[in-house]
Structure 1
Amino acid sequence: MKKFTFLTLAVFALLSLTGCDAIGTIFKAGMWWAFFLVALVIGLIVWLFSRGKN
């Protein structure tokens, strides 16, 4: 039995959606990942600065 990988699931999702829906879904996911990563980087910077003052 073949294991499903992320790439297989992504290809299946892209083929099952219409063109505009697929692009919209990709950009929505990208936007939320960007917010998450920006918050993570800001939190890391704040943590490093607060750690350096001790």
Structure 2
Amino acid sequence: MKKLQIFLLAAIILGLSSCQIVGDIFKAGVGVGVFIVVAIIGLIIFLIARIGGGR
């Protein structure tokens, strides 16, 4: 019975830490996604200004 309790405790601890890792990866992914969107919008504004300024 003692081994079962230790196993269940270890499984719970590992499960919680893996959820935290997944959450951290998701937060990093959101940050990268926001950066890419801002970079694309900046590139579009730059291209429009370049085309409009050439006339």
TM-score, normalised to structure 2, is 0.65
Rg (Cα) greater in structure: 2
Segments of structure 1 that go 5 or more residues without pairing to the other structure are 1-16
For structure 2, list consecutive stretches of 5 or more residues without a partner in the other structure. Answer: 1-8, 47-55
Q: Counting helix residues as a fraction of each chain, which structure ranks higher?
A: 2
Quote how far apart the aligned CAs of 1:30 are. 0.5
TM-score by length of 1: 0.66
CA-atom RMSD in angstroms: 1.3
Q: Which has the higher contact order (CA 8 A, sep 6+)?
A: 1
- 1:1-54 Cα offsets, whole Å, 9 max, x none, are xxxxxxxxxxxxxxxx81101110110000100000000001100000011111
